[in-house]
Every structure is written in C-alpha cells, then in structure tokens.
Amino acid sequence: MLKVLLVDDEAPILNNLKAIIPWKEMNMQVLTARSGQEALGLFDIHNPDIILCDIRMPVMDGLTLVGQLRDKGSTAEIILLTGYQEFEYARAGIKYKVRDYICKPIHYKELENNIRTIGEQIVQTRLKDPFQQKVSRIQETEDDQTVRKNPQQLMAEAARYITDKLDKDLGIEELAGYLGISCSYFSMLFKNHLGMTFVEYVTSKRVEAAKYLLAHSEKSITQIGSGIGYHERRYFTKVFQRHTGMTPSEFRDQAKNVSAI
C-alpha cells in the first residue's frame, strides 16, 4: 500500500481530498498535515510515496517544505496545489523535481487520474528494480509457508509492523517469523532495501517519533520514552542525545522557541 501525504492549512480542502479521491480503491493510505512543520514530522515517521502540498501556507510555504523534504532525502512524487500560475513557482518546481501542478479550484477527477498514474508508475518501477529481481530469486529457496509476497510487500509490512510496535521489544526473529521468512533472508533484504540494519532502523524511527511527540504533545519525557520502547528515562536520554546532539528537554525547549517565533 502506497502512502500519500496531503498538506494544506485549509481543513475543508483536506477533507474534500480525503473524501472525494478513492484512495482505498487505489491501494493508498492517506495522511494529512495542516502545516509544513507537521508534514515534516509525519515524513520522518512514515516516509510517504506521494505528497500533495499547497504552495501558499503560513509560516512555511509549500516550496520551502519541498526543499526541506528533498534535503532529508525524500524521493516522493510531489504534486503542488496552487491558485497561482507564476514562472517562479515552475522554476522552483523543476529544481525540486516536482511532478505536477494542480491549480485551484481543484478538478478532482483530473487529480485522481494523475495520482492513479503516478501510483502505478511507482509500483512498476519498484518491480523492475534489479535488486528486487535478485531477492525474488533468493526468496524462491524459502520454505513455502505463506502466500508468496514480493520484497516490496515484505518490507512495507515490516515497516508497518515496526511503526505499530515501537513501544515493544522488537527483534529480527520476531519480525522474520511474522513475515514467514528466515532471519538471514530478512536481514539481507532489510539492509539492502532500507540502507541500514534492523537495529539502526528501529532506533531511528524511535528517535524521529520522539522528536515529533516532544514538539507536538504535552506528554512528559518519561511517557514519551516509554511510548517508543525506552522504559528507563536515563537510557532514552542517552540514545536521543547520541542521535540529535541534544537531550529531550533541550530539544523540546528549542521546538517551543521555534514555534513561538
């Protein structure tokens, strides 16, 4: 299932996009954000495949958001929603590899067709990836205990499983068993597909979730740590500081100062 992030500061537009476009039929999961900052937090946790973003938003406009997403390594297909038709937008869009522009008022059927086409292209590109073909051949040696799934599906399931259980003690054996594949195959597939080891990935997701919660919730640091799998505050602080250069308290204070500007 592909992930789609909708970003617009106007709630009615977000609601219309969610309601009118047949996301489930297109096998897409929808996330929404009312600001650029919120969108960055959701990107860190979910890494969406497609992003629909309004250009004119307060505090952080759409092009600034797109630039920051690209700096973070996002390869998502991006569609910009705008009521303005200006060359500067088009030029900036080329720089950030924006896929398309949709002018307001939105023609929803046209937008649906564009998204459907983009989604199909993403799936086909992944299926043609040489690495995907290689691991598919390796997978044929696995015991046929479950319905055969391609590597993309397996890693999507793994990522969702990790996201859903960040507060639990996670291990390769548990996740490989859940997917119905061997630990060695899982480790090889995970490293090649996601570019890091299982432990590195889980830690990075926990830290990103912690950053989002520290900036957007009133939960205590102990509660946040426990909610992402670190039940000792001291250890949570140590891991968080190693990855961000700040303690959770320092990060929260900085986030409050930025939002107050």
**pLDDT at position 82:** 76
Integer Cα distance of 59 and 261 in angstroms = 9
For the segment 71-81, what is each residue's pLDDT rounded down to a tens digit?
888 889 998 88
Q: Exposed/middle/buried for 44, CB within 10 Å: 0-12, 13-18, 19+?
A: middle
- Determine the Cα–Cα distance for residues 60 and 261; give it in Å rounded to an integer: 12
**Environment class of 124 (CB within 10 Å of its CB; exposed 0-12, middle 13-18, buried 19+):** exposed
Which residue segments constitute the domains of the chain, with CATH numbers given? 2-137 (3.40.50.2300), 143-260 (1.10.10.60)
Tell me whether the omega of the peptide bond preceding residue 105 falls within 30 degrees of 0, making it cis: yes
* 246 pLDDT higher than 90: yes
Specify the 3-state DSSP secondary structure of 184. helix
Phi, psi for 194 (deg, rounded to 5): -105, -5
Q: What whole-number distance in Å separates Cα of residue 136 and Cα of residue 130?
A: 10
pLDDT band at residue 84 under the 50/70/90 scheme: low
Can you read off the two tokens belonging to residue 45?
């946790």
Q: In the β-sheet with 77-82, what is the strand arrangement from edge to edge?
A: 28-33, 2-7, 50-54, 77-82, 100-103
Mean per-residue pLDDT over the chain, rounded: 82
Dist CA 89 CA 81 (whole Å): 11
What pLDDT, in 10s, does the model give residues 11-38?
Answer: 888 999 999 999 998 999 999 999 988 9
Tell me how far apart the alpha carbons of residues 83 and 70 are, in angstroms, rounded to a whole number: 23
Q: Which residues, in sequence order, are bridge partners of residue 5?
A: 31, 51
Whether the predicted pLDDT of 154 surpasses 50: yes
Task: Give the tokens for residue 66.
Answer: 């797109």
Give phi and psi for 30, each to the nearest 5: -110, 135
Q: Is the pTM of this model over 0.95?
A: no
pLDDT at 185 over 70: yes
3-class DSSP state for residue 50?
strand
Tell me the sheet residues that pair with 100. Answer: 79
Place of tokens 């303005």: 84
What DSSP state is assigned to residue 106?
P
pLDDT of residue 80: 85
Strands (DSSP E) along the chain, which ranges? 2-7, 28-33, 50-54, 77-82, 100-103
Give the integer Cα–Cα distance in Å for 245 and 226: 20
